[in-house]
Structure 1
Amino acid sequence: MFVTGASGFIGAHFVERALAEGHDVAGLYRSDGPKHQVSIEQLRNRGASLRRGDILKPETFADALSGADCVCHFAAAFRESGADEAYFERMNVEGTANVARAAVAAGVKRFVHCGTAGIYGQRVAGTIDERTPIRPWNSYERSKLAADERVREIASGAGMEYVILRPTAVYGPRDERLLKLFRSAAKGRFPLFGRGDGRRHLIYVTDLADAFLRACTAASAANQELIVAGPKAVPLREMLQTIAQVANRPAFGPSLPLKPMLALAAVVEDTCKVLKIQPPIYRRRMDFYLNDAAFDSSRAQSVLGWQPKVDLAEGFSATLQAVRREKGAPTLAQASVLLSLLTLFTD
């Protein structure tokens, strides 16, 4: 199989899983900077054939698809700071189309694309499934929806099978975004603005890797579009309490009123816009406290013969242990890194 984004957070976990199951894996990575180098070397040592390339430049990877029976496409722009609509369109839509066309040219049987469950909306009553109306929230989600459409169009036109998996928010060890969190870890407290009733539905990265591997081979998955989510959605307050428990913290932080912070965020954002500076707090960041969504992945479970196994307590514990291994003996400040995981879902 051929994997794009092979050195990224999800991609690297997937490659590890595929290699462990005996698959031959060729992969593409864009950057070989220090934050990627360890995973690249580790994957090569385990038997993966990796090359550096760019999904916007098919000539850098097209020949590597020769002989592949399946392509798993993870490479994408993910809410990069300051990126505009055109950037996401180029990376996530044009880049995906390039990979899909290269797969067709190489005679690949199946194309498995990593979409996002975010296209269904951030605040949705009830439980979201594949029949729920689509309401993309931002540039990233609009581009991922457009990428889904290109995959469907290119694959269907060429007779290539496709599978689109739409994961909820993904977490687990080695998430590159954790690096940003160390800078704020010394704060040691996570404030909860409002009651924290909004539901959060996460999926642990190894559960997601398992779903993607099954999507490569399950005959019944051909031409399906499936939501993949963790065992259950929980209210924000319960999530924070779970993180505090696994971090051996007496509490996750103070509970504060939400409305004043919403007003402050609006004032700060508007003022910084006039001054042409980056706002330290803004409306979309505060959306984190307003979001409320739960997902039904029963269709994926049935089609793929798949089941999410890792609950939040186990997943957060494993993530914290990985943080501690990477940074040495834990301190109280380091324990708060896991609490800061919640900022991953504010951008």
Structure 2
Amino acid sequence: MQGLYLVTGAAGFVGEHLVRHLHSRGVAVRAMVRRTSQAAALEPYAEVVVADITQPDTLPQAMAGVSGIYHVAALFRQAGVPDAAFYDVNVAGVQNVFEAAITAGVPRIVHCSTNGVHSHIKDPPANESAPFNPGDLYQLSKIEGENIAMSYFGSGQIGGVVLRPTMIYGPGDTRTLKLFRMIARKNFFYVGNGLALTHWVDVRDLAEAFLLAMQADTINAEAFLIGGDRYMTLKDTVQEISRQLNVPEPSLHLPTGPVMALAHATEWICKPFGIEPPLFPRRVSFFLKNRAFDISKARTELGFAPKQDFSGEVADIIKDYFERGYLTLS
């Protein structure tokens, strides 16, 4: 692709992988970060600019002369963050990005949403037409942000599409590290029967999906679910990780009701102090919600295709964790 392309949220897990992927494909990249201390890791792969999507006056310099924007920056779930911050970043921040892009004459944006806009899938697998069903403030804010993006695409002021990744993981991911560590240390347990459906997407495949979506400049105002080759039960996921770590598959199953009640209680106690509770409802929901999606639209219209199967992805993650010292076996 000719031109210079901006990646917002470039210091995050997805953003950094995207920057590296674009660079590897010969694409000129401008990486947007919020702090100068985040620049060093990206400078070998991109021009780095410091800006903040919640501060509109910082955006013109980031967007000057770019041919397209990958809008990845978002506020994910974390403790100690006021509820208003989700609106500031995931809703107002989206509007700030689009307004600045239109003013700068940027022709196209690929906006990153989430499969979480659909939340629990009652009749799996779901496609892009499944109803929105937010389960928490993060998911609600992402719906509002996606709606803003779609309204701009529909207005004709700027082109682009929305990507809804499934459960993102990959080498270097610290969010799924706890799952792998618990299995490796033989202290993982299920809440419920372990048959809830999971649908992972390798961050490297997601990076390629972003590139394909930018290149597909005749497609406008569409949403695409981006996921791995197949979905599976949580037990299938844990079995494969256990097998590759050469540890026994976990067998302990805790009852759903009491654990969820305890989660609500600990969250209620910890939230006023800005403390991340050791157990909270969203974490329990991981064991209960179905996340299973039909990715045929992305395959057909974008040419998206996952590069390897779940087993190969897990092997790459485990290898990376050991090399980084994140994972050890007792």
- TM-score, normalised with respect to structure 2: 0.89
2:22 aligned partner, one-letter code: A
Q: Which amino acid aligns with 1:3?
A: V
Report what 2:33 is aligned to: 29
Where does residue 281 of structure 2 map in the other structure?
283
Q: How far apart are 1:158 and its partner, in Å?
A: 5.0
Is 1:249 equivalent to 2:247 in the alignment?
Answer: yes
Match of 2:15 among 11, 14, 23: 11
Supply the AA of the counterpart residue of 2:96.
N
Q: Deviations over 1:132-152 (max 9, x none)?
A: 111111111111111111112
Give the aligned partner of residue 214 of structure 2: 216
Number of equivalent positions = 326
Q: Is structure 2 residue 124 aligned with structure 1 residue 126?
A: yes
- RMSD over equivalenced CA pairs, Å: 2.6
Contact 2:119–2:289 (8 Å) recurs in 1: no
Q: 1:278 to 1:320 in 2, by over 3 A?
A: closer
- Answer yes or no: is 1:331 the counterpart of 2:328: yes
Residue deviations 1:273-318, cap 9 Å, x none? 7999764323332222211121011111111111122322111111
Matched, 1:162 2:168: no
Q: Aligned match of 2:102 in 93, 101, 104?
A: 104
What aligned pairs does 1:131-146 form with structure 2 within 5 A after superposition?
A: 131-146=129-144
Q: Which residue of 1 aligns with 2:294?
A: 296
Cα distance change of structure 1 residues 185 and 129 upon mapping to structure 2, 3 Å threshold: closer
Aligned residue type for 1:19: H
Q: Aligned partners of 2:9, 2:267: CA distance in 1, in Å?
A: 34
Q: CA deviation at 1:17?
A: 1.1
Query: Which secondary structure state, in structure 1, belongs to the residue aligned with residue 32 of structure 2?
Result: strand
Show the counterpart of 1:45.
44
Report the 3-state secondary structure (helix = DSSP H, G, I; strand = E; otherwise coil) of the residue aligned with 2:250.
Answer: coil
Q: Please give the residue correspondences for 1:168-317 in structure 2 after superposition, counting only pairs within 5 Å.
A: 168-177=166-175, 187-252=185-250, 254-266=252-264, 268-269=266-267, 279-317=277-315
Percent identical among aligned pairs is 35
Displacement after TM superposition at 1:266 (Å): 4.5
Q: CA deviation at 1:220?
A: 4.0
Q: Which moved more, 1:239-248 or 1:157-166?
A: 157-166
Instruction: Could you list the structure 1 runs, at least 4 aligned residues long, displaced by more than 4 angstroms after superposition.
Output: 178-187, 266-279
Gaps in structure 1 of 5+ consecutive residues: 334-347
Measure how far apart 1:159 and its partner are: 2.5
Distance 2:52 2:278 in 1: 32
Asked if the contact 2:116–2:139 (Cα under 8 Å) also holds between the matched residues in 1, the reply is yes
Q: Distance in 2 between matches of 1:19 and 1:132?
A: 35
Contact 2:81 2:274 in 1 (8 A): no
Which structure carries more helix by proportion? 1
The corresponding residue for 2:56 is 58
Contact 1:101-1:154 within 8 A present in 2 as well: no
Kept in 1, the 8 Å contact 2:179–2:188? The answer is no
Q: CA deviation at 1:229?
A: 1.1
Distance 1:3 1:266 in 2: 37
Q: Which amino acid is 1:305 matched to?
A: G
Post-superposition offset of 1:130: 1.2
* Superposition deviation, residue 25 in structure 1: 0.7
1:149 to 144, 147, 150: 147
Q: Distance in 2 between matches of 1:179 and 1:255?
A: 21
User: Pick from 63, 66, 70: which aligns with 2:68?
Assistant: 70
How far apart in 2 are the matches of 1:176 and 1:293? 20
Q: 1:150 to 1:237 in 2, by over 3 A?
A: same
For residue 44 of structure 1, give the secondary structure of its aligned residue in structure 2.
coil
Alpha-carbon distance in 2 for matches of 1:58, 1:180: 36
Alpha-carbon distance in 2 for matches of 1:249, 1:203: 24
